[in-house]
Amino acid sequence: MDLRNAYDQRSVVVTGAGGFIGSHLVEALVKLGARVRALDHLARDAQVNLAAVIDRIEYVQRSLDQDVPLDDVVGGCDYLFHLAANASVPLSSERPGMDFEINVGGTYRVMEAFRRAGAGRLIFPSTASVYGEPLRDPMDETHPLRPMSPYAGSKLAAEFLLDAYARCYGFDHRRARLFSTFGPRQRKYVMFDLIEKLRRDPRRLEILGTGLQLRTYSYVADTVQALLHIGAHPDARGEVFNIGGEEPISIRELAELIVETLGIAPPEMVFTGQSWPGDVQRLIGDWSKLRALGYEPRIGLREGLRRLAAWHRGEFSPPW
Ligand SMILES: NC(=O)c1ccc[n+]([C@@H]2O[C@H](COP(=O)([O-])OP(=O)(O)OC[C@H]3O[C@@H](n4cnc5c(N)ncnc54)[C@H](O)[C@@H]3O)[C@@H](O)[C@H]2O)c1
């Protein structure tokens, strides 16, 4: 797929642009020659993640939880990647109202502006947690939908709303269900937590849960390429695609791989036994539908971990 041809000189809006995936997506779009309008509710000055490209994009500080029309942001765009969300499962189970307001209400407000704009493509990253505990492994896009957290429920509600809008108003939308994505600038979740704990104490590593939870991980640059493929491909209209990683790996194996990547002596590993409400034990994705569009991950888990460790060292000056 010729992504330059698809995005060069096109007008692209990215919501949640200052976040982990959003900032990598914006950088990739700038490299492809796109004219990017980046929306986030954080102040321009707080945009550390966008520092490398902030002078080459139009930055709009706007919150999706205000009832303010977004027509001036969305109008005239060729592509709209709607990433802004509360993206934390633990936070969602503590404060479900926030997910309802931002993930559902914010998506509604984006769609209303998009509908009024009358053209373009809307790409929405949903989550693999809409599937809930697997009834079969790996899970493809036809797996039953049984969300187990307010976060997963809110993303699924937004998916369905989007689908209904597309049918009712005939607009071009594409959905992706992301399995865990990791990489530089992700300052939360399992990879960050494990490296951060090891930075503070390389001799002892406490791990939430049993260590047996299975996941597939996609490096952020691969996830971004996948989203760009889905946005650009003529056959992706109205479809939903899993964005998975390679082989499934348990949290214990992941911790061992991180230790190996950091080049430190194996620490004592302590498992808490219990994780958080809404946590899913196995999330293994089948992404052959996406592969059929011509997408292949380039970086993968091991090289991705090396890049993540290098970024973490640069940001936080560890003792090793
Ligand atoms: N990281 C993953 O593994 C993963 C997995 C599944 C789905 N996703 C989805 O991908 C998207 C990006 O996730 P991420 O990991 O980069 O999260 P993130 O938290 O780093 O980024 C989300 C961004 O949205 C912005 N935002 C939040 N509320 C807003 C509001 N009311 N108005 C404007 N901006 C607001 C935040 O400031 C932040 O910059 C989300 O939609 C998330 O649900 C991520």
CATH number of residue 168's parent domain: 3.40.50.720
Residue 16's region, left for phi above 0, alpha for psi from -120 to 50, else beta, is: left
131 is catalytic: no
Write the CATH number for 201. 3.90.25.10
Tell me: do 151 and 269 sit in the same domain.
Answer: no
Q: Is 47 in the pocket of ligand 1 (CB under 6 A)?
A: no
Whether ligand 1 lies within 6 angstroms of the CB of 183 is answered as: no
How far apart are the CA of 213 and the centre of ligand 1, in A?
23
Q: In the structure encoding, which two tokens stand for residue 181, read together?
A: 């994505």
Examine the domain organization and report whether 63 and 157 are in the same domain.
Answer: yes
Could you give the CA distance from residue 166 to residue 102 in angstroms, rounded to a whole number? 20
Distance CA 80, CA 71 (A): 12
Q: Ligand 1 centroid to 40 CA: how many Å?
A: 10
Could you tell me if 126 and 203 lie in one domain?
A: no
Beta carbons of 234 and 172 less than 8 angstroms apart: no
* Shared-domain flag, residues 199 and 270: yes
Q: Sheet containing 121-127: give its strands across.
A: 58-61, 35-40, 11-15, 79-82, 121-127, 172-178, 240-243
Residues 36 and 68 in one domain: yes
224 and 92 together in one domain = yes
Which domain does 32 fall in, by range? 3-182+218-244+286-298
- Do residues 231 and 96 both lie within one domain? yes
Q: What is the pLDDT along the chain (320 residues), one digit of tens a residue?
A: 899 999 999 999 999 999 999 999 999 999 999 999 999 999 988 889 999 999 999 999 999 988 888 999 999 999 999 999 998 877 888 888 889 999 999 999 999 999 999 889 999 999 999 999 899 989 999 999 999 899 999 999 999 999 999 999 999 999 999 999 999 999 988 899 999 999 999 999 999 889 998 999 999 999 999 999 999 999 999 999 999 887 899 999 999 999 999 999 999 999 998 776 656 778 899 999 999 999 999 999 999 999 999 999 999 876 65
Q: How far apart are CA 299 and CA 308, in angstroms?
A: 12
Are 10 and 113 members of one domain? yes
Same domain, 123 and 197: no
Q: What is the count of structural domains for the chain?
A: 2
Q: Are residues 38 and 174 in the same domain?
A: yes
Is residue 160 located within the same domain as residue 308?
no
Residues 201 and 135 in one domain: no
Q: Which atom of ligand 1 is nearest to the CA of 18?
A: 39
* Tokens at 108, concatenated: 């509604």
